[in-house]
Amino acid sequence: MTFAVGEKVVYPNQGVGTIENISTRYFETRPEKFYLLRLVCSSMTVMVPFSHVEDLRLRKVTRNAEIARVVAFLSVVLGIGFVVSFIVAYGAVAWFLGWVRKHGFAPFAVYRIILGSAVLYWASRLGG
């Protein structure tokens, strides 16, 4: 991926920066091109070699229209997830209440005590 001078880019773990210059440095006889990047949050400058742009995951700043599209998609997905989880939770609680009415609460209490004891035993063996 190539960038132009003045373009805003995202430098992961550092934030947004502006490409201020493109320069070439020589290492022995081998030339290497660099982006000179000024970070917005700290005004620090960073030299990023062209050969490491992919490794560092340097990328263009996402446009507002793209963000709006992603948010709209996620809103639909989260809405569907919310409805499905509500229906499943309602069904599970309704089934459990019916089971308790039919069998009483004692079997459930015994199951919880046995399971709780097993978890405590397992945790004490793991921690020690």
- Looking at the fold, whether 82 and 118 belong to one and the same domain comes out as yes
- Please give the tally of structural domains in the chain: 2
Whether the full predicted model's pTM is greater than 0.85, yes or no, is no
- Looking at the fold, whether 82 and 51 belong to one and the same domain comes out as no
Sequence length of the chain is 128
- Looking at the fold, whether 82 and 123 belong to one and the same domain comes out as yes
Query: Which domain does 14 fall in, by range?
Result: 8-61
94 within domain boundaries: yes
- State pLDDT tens for residues 54-69: 999 999 988 888 989 9
- Looking at the fold, whether 55 and 79 belong to one and the same domain comes out as no
Nearest to 37 by CA among 29, 46, 28: 46
1 within domain boundaries: no
- State pLDDT tens for residues 88-113: 999 999 999 999 999 998 998 999 99
Cα–Cα distances (Å) from 87 to 2, 18, 41, 83, 84, in that order, read 49, 48, 45, 6, 5
